[in-house]
A and B are shown apart, each in its own frame.
Chain A
Amino acid sequence: MNNDAQAYWQANIRLVIGCLVVWFAVSYGCGVLFAEPLNSIRILGGYPLGFWFAQQGSIYSFVILVFFYAWRMNQLDRKFGVQED
């Protein structure tokens, strides 16, 4: 692997880890581990926050995360000159 490809892969790994931290926080964190204390907070009317994360919020966050990842990766592809065509 040449240096560019190596640096590209490192940047990719950093991005993936960052995204997976958020992925974990919104589902396992807010939706499972801390759901009970969060339930004392209400949002969007009558949603207990922990319950909202488990049944709504985590899913919205996943969608945003995947698009964010795709957008950042396209930038990295061009920055390191490894894009297709």
Chain B
Amino acid sequence: MSLQLITYLVVGATFALYIWIAIKARAGSTGEFYVAGKGVHPVLNGMATGADWMSAASFISMAGMIAMKGYDASVFLMGWTGGYCLLAMLLAPYLRKYGKFTVPAFIGDRYYSNTARIVAVICLIVASLTYVIGQMKGIGVAFSRFLEMPYEYGLLVGMIIVFIYAVLGGMKGITYTQIAQYCVLIFAYTVPAVFISLQLTDNPLPQLGLGAQMNDGSHMFLLDKLNQTLTDIGFNQYTARSDSLQNIFLYTMTLMIGTAGLPHVITRFFTVPKVRDARSSVGWSLVFIAILYTTAPAVGAMARLNLMETIHPTKDAHAGEWLKYDERPTWFKNWEKTGLLKFEDKNGDGRIQYVKDPAQNEMVTIDNDIMVLANPEIAGLPNWVIALVAAGGIAAALSTAAGLLLAISSSISHDLLKGIFAKNMSDKSELLAGRIAMGGAIVVAGYFGLHPPGFAAQVVALAFGLAASSIFPALMMGIFVKRINKAGAIAGMLAGLGVTLVYIFWFKGWFFVPGTEMAKNVADNWLFGISPEAFGSIGALVNFIVAYAVSSITPPPPEHIQNLVEDIRVPGVVRR
């Protein structure tokens, strides 16, 4: 069977499954639409959170970033998992106790202010929308590469599938499809990793294979071999740090705080029955996420080693020679067609020189996304594994898109309409409004997927910066510091958001308009060597300080708010 036919069958089968689940799990009330009726088992919610969290970026791009940056890419591994500790200990159980449907609803009630609620809604929509554009792009790329379908059609098919199950089922439909999507994506990610680990080290567990000896007779440890191969041709050591210490530190911190503050993740813990379940469910989420996140470093390192071995072999007859361009393998040609891989024969010798120095390097483009998608081909794995990777990538993108779209639509129908502008709305019309908002959000996301703004890659930094500098501190102080009042919270959010935005815009252009940047985005210009992506943690710090300072010189919150804080601090009923 041809690769294309197998891919159609595998992807088609997963789509049929998602739609079947959607029909089974329709939402009948706003409670089901927003929080799946608060009846999701904590382990299942953990699985759904795993799929919700692991986006096209985690599935497709992360291993590629690790392959290219080595140790420096640890910021993503630690940042995107360590945030769950903050979520488990500082936010999820308390917000579940509060028992409302959305994150802005808590901020609005705790700070007794519609202004605070609207600021939260704006942060939520900007953060979620930037994220969703990336997912739409991921769906389009997966379709166009593996099904050889035009990008636009791929995007349209993806939109229709999300539309069916997200609009019909709301959180309930999304939850159960996410569980199925998790199974698809984790299987698709680990199977090729196990194969490749076996090929290189005879160890079936990629987590151990990465630390094991090569089975090529050299008895070298895989990481030593990789370090040697890279340093021989002028690259930095794979296992050593190249970036500055403070930037690695703060970047990790920003990603951790941002992770804990992203509303579509927090909302997932509103769907479990009890406070106790919210605590354990974060643990289960992290287990399911860790399976992929501990496999990714192995995939990255092994893919890099395979790539180096292809271009600059260290064994066989051609040892020490650069690969002749005419003898390049099929996968190389396939990916050249997509433009994600580009070769330029600078010295005209017909061979591929891949070195660190940009003046001599002839591999002018190696897109991060190739590493995972081409990995099975580079390792020569069977066609069904390649088809599986395509289905997994699509599952990762769809599940994250659905979670984000729900966060956007519920903030519109529940926070803006029902909460502020149309308070008398009935449950039934709110449900309808939620569905319309969802449909609208899908269309907007699809539009941006078709016409991706030039700054699409840069705004991801914005999503984490926003969540870290505005939403997380407001939520955390709302629970842990009774004294923070309305004025303090609003001033803190705006100050944190302000400095983060200004810092990002300063180096990337105001509103990302090219040419308007105030300084070139290079390490020499950065404040204390902190990159714009890493600045969210500084924004969070500013938020904490300003909120505390303003609250301490203004009157304390009213008594019923102080009682509210006492109530959410304990799982049961408070006796007064």
Q: A32-B249, A59-B294 are in contact. Are A1 and B239 (CB under 8 A)?
A: no
Contact A45–B211 (Cβ < 8 Å): yes
The answer to whether A33 touches B71 (Cβ under 8 A) is no
Number of A-B contacts (CB under 8 A): 144
CA distance A73 to B566 in the complex (A): 17
CA distance A8 to B567 in the complex (A): 13
Chain A 27-85 residues near chain B, CB threshold 8 A: 27-28, 31-33, 35-36, 39, 43-48, 51-52, 54-56, 58-60, 62-63, 65-67, 69-70, 73-74, 77, 81-85
Chain A nearest CB, measured from B257 CB (Å): 12
From DSSP, what is the main secondary structure of chain A's interface residues? helix
Q: Give a binary string over B210-254; 1 marks a CB under 8 Å from any A CB, 0 the rest.
A: 111100000001111000000000000001110001001100110
Q: Which of B261-275 contact A (CB under 8 A)?
A: 274-275
A78 to B280, CA, bound (A): 16
* Chain B residues positioned under 8 Å from A8 (CB to CB): 570
Other-chain contact of A84, B85, B90, B248, B276 (Cβ < 8 Å): B276
Q: Which of A12, A62, A84 contacts B572 (CB under 8 A)?
A: A84
B571: interface (CB < 8 Å): yes
Contact between A54 and B572 (Cβ–Cβ < 8 Å)? no
Binding-face segment, B180-188, B285-293, B380-388, B428-436: B285-293
Q: Is the CB of A59 within 8 A of B78?
A: yes
Q: Does B89 contact A (CB under 8 A)?
A: yes
Chain A residues within 8 Å of B287, by CB: 63
Closest chain-B Cβ to A7's Cβ sits at a distance in Å of: 11
* Residues B283 and A47 in contact, CB atoms below 8 Å apart: no
| Residues of chain B with a CB closer than 8 A to A46's CB | 211-213, 221-224
A62 vs B85: C-alpha distance when bound (angstroms): 6
Minimum CB–CB distance for B46 against chain A, Å: 11
Output the nearest chain A residue to B220 by Cβ-Cβ distance: A46
Kindly state whether residue B569 has any CB partner on chain A within 8 Å. Answer: yes
- Report B562-574 CB contacts with A as 1/0, cut-off 8 Å: 0000100111101
Contact A19 B84 (CB under 8 A): no
Bitwise, A13-33 to B at CB < 8 A (1) or not (0) is 000100110010001100111
User: Is B82 an interface residue when CB atoms closer than 8 A count as contact?
Assistant: yes
Known: A55-B77, A66-B282. A77 touches B294 (CB 8 A): no
Q: Which residues of A contact B (CB under 8 A)?
A: 1-2, 5, 8-9, 12, 16, 19-20, 23, 27-28, 31-33, 35-36, 39, 43-48, 51-52, 54-56, 58-60, 62-63, 65-67, 69-70, 73-74, 77, 81-85
Q: What are 26 sample pairs from A and B whose C-beta atoms fall under 8 A apart?
A: A2-B574, A2-B576, A20-B89, A23-B82, A31-B78, A33-B249, A35-B71, A44-B211, A45-B208, A45-B213, A46-B223, A47-B211, A48-B239, A51-B239, A52-B211, A55-B297, A56-B210, A59-B77, A59-B78, A62-B286, A63-B286, A66-B89, A70-B276, A70-B282, A73-B93, A84-B572
